[in-house]
Amino acid sequence: MIIVNLTGGLGNQMFQYALGRQLAIKNQTSFKLHFTNALFATQRSFGLKHLNIKAEIATDKELGSLGISQNRVINRAQYLLEHRVGIKLNKNILTERSPIFDANILNAPDNTYLQGYWQSPSYFHNINSQILKDFLFIKPMNEKNRNIAKFIKNCNSVSIHIRRGDYVTDPAVKKTFPSVGVGYCNAGMKAVEKRVKSPTYFVFSDDIDWARKNIKSQRKIYFIGHNRGKFSYEDMRLISLCKHNVISNSTFSWWGAFLNANRHKTVVSPKIWSETELGKDIALANWIKI
């Protein structure tokens, strides 16, 4: 049995799931999920329920069989002790020690509990086709999103995603993750326009009012701001339907671009993902880095 700890928003949970799925397939064993949000300061909800995932929530008995505590504070303490200090309290827990891809992680045996972010496509690249199936959205779109999706499919659509939120309001997060600004978006559109004929832009953001005031183009540009709260996953679905993508340093828009099925897509990604090593190898080789 492989159990993966889920923490953070939907994009983070998808990376965590992908590694867990990889190890479960490799070990030919069952795959379970444990949502605690223990590694993430901001309150989040279980986002994978919107996707065609092939895993169930771990039971108390299954967690107990690997010595996993149900207490969120204890989960957090165990993670910090191993991640920062190197003190291992449970032989079944595999904690991410570095944000850079570590091939040794793929040798994890059966009966492993995964704890970390695992933000590298190298952890699941050989099962990409399976991950794409698992991450199909299972709920039908409402009428407004269906109409936008139809428009997206019938033009040279380009998504622009701007992550702000705690990137600009939380001093600690802001120090680590610089929010992409107008300069990056303009450079991204310029790069797209060298490769895409008559692009139409669709802008997504958790601060859509800021985007409307600051993102300008002589091309057609639309601002999508109605998918809020528990429906925010719909933005990822619409991003994935766009033919090309300009993403921010956000796992949410990363997955939107990854799920984009256009074989000839242009994807623009920030060259600097964070002020740490997190995200150092997150961008795919054929993406344009600005």
Q: For residues 135-151, give the mean pLDDT.
A: 98
Contact between residue 135 and residue 14 where contact means Cβ atoms under 8 Å apart:
yes
pLDDT tens digits, residue range 154-207?
999 999 999 987 777 777 777 778 888 999 999 999 999 999 999 999 999 999
The residue type of 180 is: V
| 120 has a pLDDT exceeding 90 | yes
Q: For residues 1-26, give the mean pLDDT.
A: 96
- The overall average pLDDT reported for the chain is 92
Tokens of 228: 């809020």
As beta bridge partners, residue 162 has 205
CA distances from 212 to 104, 149, 180, 217, 232 (A): 45, 20, 15, 11, 18
Residue extents of the structural domains in the chain: 2-134, 143-289
Please give the pLDDT value at position 53: 97
| 41 has a pLDDT exceeding 60 | no
Please give the pLDDT value at position 83: 63
Q: How large is the C-alpha radius of gyration of the chain? A: 19
pLDDT tens digits, residue range 227-269?
999 999 999 999 999 999 999 999 999 999 999 999 999 999 9
Please give the pLDDT value at position 97: 87
| 87 has a pLDDT exceeding 80 | no
Residue 37 Rama label (left phi>0; alpha psi -120 to 50; beta): left
Q: pTM higher than 0.85, yes or no?
A: yes
Contact between residue 96 and residue 116 where contact means Cβ atoms under 8 Å apart:
yes
Percent of the chain with pLDDT over 90: 76
Sheet (strand 2-6) strand order: 56-57, 31-35, 2-6, 112-115, 93-95
Please give the pLDDT value at position 39: 58
- In sequence order, what DSSP letters do the residues of 208-246 get, joined into one string? HHHHHHH---SS-EEEE----GGGTHHHHHHHHHSSEEE
**pLDDT grade for 122, boundaries at 50, 70 and 90:** very high
> What CATH architecture is 143-289?
3-Layer(aba) Sandwich (3.40)
Please give the pLDDT value at position 153: 98
